[in-house]
Amino acid sequence: MNFAFYTFIMVPRGPNSAIINMGMMFAMVAIFWFLLIRPNMKERERHEMMLSSVKKGDDIVTTGGIIGKVVHAEETQLTVRTGENTRITVDR
């Protein structure tokens, strides 16, 4: 540990080291943004588009694994027929 500490102290610092450090930090944030945050945003947009396009007659599988056919679609809820006489209401 002492060697690493002394090496850090002995590194000569130029007048632009703060600008270089800021640039490196900006680059790290940009990489983090494009590799982690942006793909999740695109996936969420795609998922929301898919949910909003569900209409009467579509076959669906819920997050809980329930399979059925949409018999009534409202803005925030769907009524799904899962069997002959079984209907459930789920949130979009």
Is the same domain home to 49 and 77? no
In a domain, 76, yes or no: yes
Give 11-65 pLDDT, tens digit per residue. Answer: 566 667 778 888 889 999 999 989 989 999 999 999 999 988 999 999 999 889 9
| Domain ranges, residue 48 | 17-53
Number of structural domains in the chain: 2
Confidence at residue 12, expressed as pLDDT on a 0 to 100 scale: 63
Confidence at residue 10, expressed as pLDDT on a 0 to 100 scale: 60
Phi, psi of 6 (to 5 degrees): -70, -35
Confidence at residue 71, expressed as pLDDT on a 0 to 100 scale: 95
Residue 25 Cα distances to 14, 15, 20, 31, 63, angstroms:
18, 18, 9, 10, 39
In a domain, 63, yes or no: yes
Residue 13 Cα distances to 6, 7, 22, 25, 40, angstroms:
14, 12, 14, 17, 39
Phi-psi region of 57 (alpha: psi -120 to 50; beta: other; left: phi over 0): left
Is the same domain home to 33 and 63? no
Confidence at residue 30, expressed as pLDDT on a 0 to 100 scale: 92
